[in-house]
Every structure is written in structure tokens, then in C-alpha cells.
């Protein structure tokens, strides 16, 4: 199940994208993320009127995606694979794609996932994770979320109690993959190709019964996890080689992300404060900065 979709494109205007998605749209009081104009509707959020290089940004939440399914928009356009194929063609960049698998039987609970991780039964390339409890009135635990992977990484898996989140009867647990940037583009491509979401999840996280065998892939898969993902094969995301950022794209990113903060610093402490920030940053250049500068034909000293 697709649960979040976010991309940027330069070929269509905000009005054309709204017309494609359909539904009613209303202007928001202010823009965000460097865009001066924003529209919100039951089918998502559209941002525009940034710099020319920023294009038009579109974000569609899980609830809005379900609405597109319910109203027949997806079916009328040939299903999700066809709709996502359009996005893949028009997008200059894909910011975020989430997919989810739901468990209505109460087998894949966050508590069971947490216990299996602590028992050493997680087979994954992710090296970090955390578990959070959610409290209600009187300090009673009303839910738990297990995160596998770092929040700062371009891909993360989480397991949580969806029924507790919505305050509805359960059991209803969800395993969700959140992908950003090039990982999001790879996940979008996988969905366009019709690859099974269970296979994508299995390629990221697998739960096995620890044994004395040093080869973890020979450990028996936990029966509850096998029943959840089904009889699928691993479907690793194919990430394309990362394109080197151009100097113009770098300028645009600095202006978009840090321009307002630098302008505020100059207004409070004078423009010399911005120069002092530049000089202080000079001594913190690392290999990544030197490599990026070298790709533009500059040598940092």
C-alpha cells in the first residue's frame, strides 16, 4: 500500500498539477520551504513560486492517497503503477515515498518486533534503531513504535500500532518503509515495475531464529514474520548512481535553506556577521566539500 508520495517537477504549473489530481484546492496563508505560494486540498499540497530551479513541489499524504483510490481516480487512470509511471516521467526529483503492510491478525506487534531485535534475530543492513512507548491518561502505555534505521538516513522501517494511533478497535499493526531522495526514486521505480511490497520489506528487514550457524541467512525465518510477508522473494531497491550536484544547484540550495537565516543574522549583527560565519566555516571543510568543489573546477586550500 502506498502511504506517502512527494516529488518536484519543472514541466507543469501548479494549476496543471491541481487539474490532473482533481478536487477542490484552496490557497494557504503562506508558503513553505522557500516557495511563496501554497495550495491545499483533499488530494494533497502543491507548492510553487520559488526560484526557477525549484520547480513545483507536490506532497500527497496517506489519507489523500486513500481518497484518490476511493473516488476512482486511480482506477480511471489504470491503477497505481500507471499513475506512478506518470510521476516518474515528470519528476525532476522524488523527495519521499512510503509504503506499508498492515497486519490485522495481531501477529506482527511492535512488542514482538522489539523482543526479536533484542534477542539478536534481526537480519538487516540497518545498524541502529530505537523503540518508543506512547503514553495516555494516567501514564498508561497506549502504543509503541519500533524504528529500524536512523531518522537521518534515506531509508527507515517502522512498526507501530495503527489502531492505537487512530483510537479505533484493533488489532491493526503496520510495518512501514519510508524512503527519501534517491532511495525514494528507487522505491517509486519498484512500484512502477509492479514489484511486491512484501519483497521490498523483506530485503530491508528479516526476522530469524538465532542459532550457532555463523551464516545468518541460514537461520530459520520466524514463522510469524514469514506469515506476514508471505511467499515472496527479496526485492532490493536498485539505487542509481548519485548525480554530482552542480554549482548552480548548490547556490539554489544555500539560498533556499539558509538564505532567510543569514539575512536575519545580517539584520541583527550587520553584514560582517555573515562574513565571520564564512571564515569560521572555512576551517571546517572536509573531504566531501573538497571533492564537491573539485567537481566544479575549484581547489579548496
Whether residue 264 is contained in a domain is answered as yes
Q: Given this model, what pLDDT does residue 18 score?
A: 97
Q: Given this model, what pLDDT does residue 243 score?
A: 65
Q: Given this model, what pLDDT does residue 48 score?
A: 95
Q: Are residues 156 and 279 in the same domain?
A: no
Q: Which domain holds residue 132?
A: 100-239
Domain count, the chain: 3
User: Per-residue pLDDT tens for 80-90?
Assistant: 999 999 999 99
User: Per-residue pLDDT tens for 98-110?
Assistant: 999 999 999 999 9
Alpha-carbon torsion (258, 5, 186, 219), positive or negative: positive
Q: Are residues 58 and 114 in the same domain?
A: no
SS3 for 160? strand
Between CA 8 and CA 92 the distance in angstroms is 6
User: Per-residue pLDDT tens for 205-258?
Assistant: 999 999 999 999 899 999 999 999 988 889 989 887 666 678 888 888 788 888
Whether residue 90 is contained in a domain is answered as no
Whether residue 21 is contained in a domain is answered as yes
Whether residue 17 is contained in a domain is answered as yes
Whether residue 30 is contained in a domain is answered as yes
pTM of the shown model: 0.79
Task: Report residue 55's pLDDT band, with 50, 70 and 90 as the boundaries.
Answer: very high
pLDDT > 90 in the chain, percent: 68
- The set of cell numbers assigned to 166 is 487512530
Q: Given this model, what pLDDT does residue 66 score?
A: 96
Amino acid at each position: 500500500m502506498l502511504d506517502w508520495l512527494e516529488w518536484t517537477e519543472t514541466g507543469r504549473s501548479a494549476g496543471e498539477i491541481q487539474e490532473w489530481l482533481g478536487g477542490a484546492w484552496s490557497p494557504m496563508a503562506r508558503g513553505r520551504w522557500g516557495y511563496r505560494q501554497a495550495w491545499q486540498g483533499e488530494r494533497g499540497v502543491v507548492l510553487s513560486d520559488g526560484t526557477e530551479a525549484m520547480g513545483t513541489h507536490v506532497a500527497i499524504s496517506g489519507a489523500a492517497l486513500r481518497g484518490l483510490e476511493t473516488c476512482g481516480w486511480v482506477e480511471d487512470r489504470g491503477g497505481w503503477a500507471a499513475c506512478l509511471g506518470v510521476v516518474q516521467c515528470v519528476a525532476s526529483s522524488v523527495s519521499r515515498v512510503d509504503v506499508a503492510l498492515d497486519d490485522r491478525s495481531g501477529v506482527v506487534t511492535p512488542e514482538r518486533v522489539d523482543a526479536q531485535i533484542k534477542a539478536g534475530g534481526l537480519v538487516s543492513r540497518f545498524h541502529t534503531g530505537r523503540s518508543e512507548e506512547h503514553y495516555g491518561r494516567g501514564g498508561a502505555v497506549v502504543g509503541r513504535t519500533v524504528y529500524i534505521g536512523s531518522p537521518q538516513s534515506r531509508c527507515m522501517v517502522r512498526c507501530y500500532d495503527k489502531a492505537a494511533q487512530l483510537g479505533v478497535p484493533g488489532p491493526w499493526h503496520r510495518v512501514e518503509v519510508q524512503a527519501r531522495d534517491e532511495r525514494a526514486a528507487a522505491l517509486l521505480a519498484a512500484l512502477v515495475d509492479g514489484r511486491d511490497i512484501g519483497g521490498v520489506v523483506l530485503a530491508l528487514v528479516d526476522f530469524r531464529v538465532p542459532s550457532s550457524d555463523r551464516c545468518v541467512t541460514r537461520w530459520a525465518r520466524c514463522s510469524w514474520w514469514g506469515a506476514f510477508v508471505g511467499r515472496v522473494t527479496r526485492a532490493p531497491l536498485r539505487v542509481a548512481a548519485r548525480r554530482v550536484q552542480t554549482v548552480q544547484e548548490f547556490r539554489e540550495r544555500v539560498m533556499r535553506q539558509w538564505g532567510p537565516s543569514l539575512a536575519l543574522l545580517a539584520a541583527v549583527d550587520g553584514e560582517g556577521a555573515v562574513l565571520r560565519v564564512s571564515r569560521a566555516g572555512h576551517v571546517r571543510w572536509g573531504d566531501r566539500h573538497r571533492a564537491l568543489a573539485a567537481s566544479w573546477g575549484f581547489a579548496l586550500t
